[in-house]
Amino acid sequence: MKAVGLVVEYNPFHNGHLYHAQTAKRQTGCDTAVAVMSGHFLQRGEPAVVSKWARTKMALQSGVDLVVELPYLYAVQKAEIFARGSVSTLNNLGCEALFFGSENGQIEPFLESAKIMDEHKDSFDQCIKEELKKGASYPSAAAIAFNSILHTENGLDMSKPNNILGYHYVKSILSGGYDMKPYTTARISSDYHDADLPDEDRHIASATSIRKALIEKPFDDCVPFLPKAAARELADYRKTFGLWHTPESYFSYLKYSLSTLTALELQQIYEVEEGLENRILRSIRKASSYQEFMEFLKTKRYTWTRLQRMNIHILTRTKKQEIHRLINDEEVPYIRLLGMTKKGQAFLSKKKKALSVPLVSKLSSFSHPALDLDIKASRIYSLAIEEPLRTEFDIQEYGHAPIRYDEDEHRFLSI
């Protein structure tokens, strides 16, 4: 059995993701799709609109064979660390290929760029430092440094979010010496940041526009852009828990958290740079919503995404010392299994003896400081849910066994 790895968030799973999974198998010649998926908080510092369990169910019914969780340690991070954790996980599982969507759509520029940048790492780092001193944000500084080093028109626009991630996937494969071949395909129909749903006849919309529509429009407006299974799981989640998880869902908890922290304590939180703690404390006192807080907080130097990630770390009280201690390892500390089809189970049975890190099926069977972060993040995520469902959600999270799906009979064997 040959497997292709996918790095995903599925927030939520939509027709573009369905196309991505199908194309990954077809273009790589693999018969098994393995997804490493962010948990309850995501790379851009946002809560997932529905739980990781609901998103796992969507994926298993839509052509993905195995879903494992990307630990919080890597999931709520800048692109380089996010990619390193994702690629390490997929390599550990024995994936022969990595398939990702990009604005570029051709793999050669990614391979060429990664090799050139590796040869000029010192110059790249120096250029970034110079641009940061001028007041540029890190992504802007990195894009300038990248273009200054390459000195070639290879068509890889490093201002585009999926190109940035793709570059770091390829870089992680090469630097890790992994026996994994990277593939890419061009994103179709909708841009990553498109905020509005397109015409129904296009069938593919950005996840951003779908999330916006879930909040602002009738649910039926989103249905044309979702596989049937995803639409069903989303409707069931909303019916059960009565909400979509959004940054605003956690504003009161963020405000409470900041009300209990001194400036000195805030300095110890991961992603809080020196001097930013005072701006945070001033801004939270004036803000009456998450959106307003972010607008008060935003500066030219710090991107919206960077600040959102910082806010998640404040919510979870994740400290710099904690992350720095855990992130030094080149390999992920464990692999947590979220769900599998029959094919995925057969693939895992063949590969699990060769795993170099523990495979975690239940939280009660394993302990690790990085897993403690995952548990804490899930508890924070559940705060948006009203009691008694919140307590039930927490209990299920701790005792939840991997979801098993029979793709032949189109039914769940365990949920």
**pLDDT the model gives residue 200:** 60
Task: Quote the tokens at residue 6.
Answer: 């996918």
Q: Which of 318, 340, 362 is the last residue of a domain?
A: 318
Amino acid at 248: E
**16 among the known binding-site residues?**
yes
CA gap 323, 313 in Å, rounded: 10
From the CB of residue 218, how many other CB atoms can be counted at a distance below 10 Å?
A: 9
Is 7 known to sit in a ligand binding site?
yes
What's the pLDDT at 166? 95
Is 11 flagged in the annotation as binding?
Answer: yes
DSSP per residue, 46-66: -B-SS-HHHHHHHHHTTT--E
Domain contains 199: no
19 is annotated as contributing to ligand binding: yes
Q: Do 306 and 345 reside in the same domain of the chain?
A: no
**Cα gap 339→236, rounded to integer Å:** 18
Instruction: State yes or no: 14 annotated in a binding site.
Output: yes
- From 292, 318, 344, the end of a domain falls on 318
Given a contact cutoff of 8 angstroms between Cβ atoms, the answer to whether 143 and 159 are in contact is: yes
Q: Is 390 annotated as a binding residue?
A: no
**336 annotated as a binding-site residue:** no
Take residue 403 and report the two structure tokens written for it.
């979801």
In-domain check, residue 131: no
Known binder of ligand: residue 328?
no
Residue 203 confidence (pLDDT)? 84
Tell whether 137 is covered by a domain. no
- Is position 226 within any domain? no
40 marked as part of a ligand binding site = no
The pLDDT profile of the chain, 415 residues, written as one tens digit per residue, is: 899 999 999 999 999 999 999 999 999 999 999 999 999 999 999 999 999 999 999 999 999 999 999 999 999 999 999 999 999 999 999 999 999 999 989 999 999 888 888 787 788 788 888 887 787 777 777 778 777 776 555 567 887 889 999 999 999 999 999 999 999 998 765 554 566 787 665 688 999 999 999 999 999 999 999 999 999 999 999 999 999 999 999 999 999 999 999 999 999 999 998 889 999 999 999 999 999 999 999 988 888 999 999 999 999 999 999 999 999 877 899 999 999 999 999 999 999 889 999 999 988 889 999 999 999 999 999 999 999 999 999 888 888 899 999 999 999 997 7
147 among annotated binding-site residues? no
Element (H, E) at 335: strand 335-341
Query: What is the Cα Rg of the chain in Å?
Result: 21
One domain for residues 49 and 16:
yes
- State residue 218's pLDDT score: 94
The total domain count for the chain is 2
Give the pLDDT score at 266.
Answer: 96
At 13 the pLDDT is: 97
Assess if residue 91 is contained within a domain: yes
167 is in an annotated binding site: no
Asked whether residue 217 is domain-assigned, the answer is: no
Closest CA to 49 of 201, 226, 190: 226
Q: Is 58 within a domain?
A: yes
The amino acid sitting at 271 is E
- Same domain? For 47 and 94 the reply is yes
* pLDDT number for residue 362: 86
- 398/371 Cα distance (integer angstroms): 11
Residue-number span of the structural domain to which 279 is assigned: 247-318
pLDDT given for residue 284 in this prediction? 97
Q: Do 397 and 359 share a structural domain?
A: yes
Which helix H or strand E contains 37, and what residues bound it? strand 32-38
Which residue has 């998450």 as its token pair?
Answer: 290
Residue 178 near residue 92 (C-beta atoms within 8 A): no
Give Cα separations from 361 to 68, 185, 240, 277 (angstroms): 10, 32, 25, 39
Q: Is 223 annotated as a binding residue?
A: no
- Would you say 270 is a known binding-site residue? no
Domain co-membership, 11 together with 91: yes
Boundary of a domain, candidates 290, 318, 346: 318
Same domain assignment for residues 90 and 41: yes
Domain presence at residue 41: yes
The CATH number of the domain where 376 resides is what?
3.40.50.620
Q: Is 224 annotated as a binding residue?
A: no
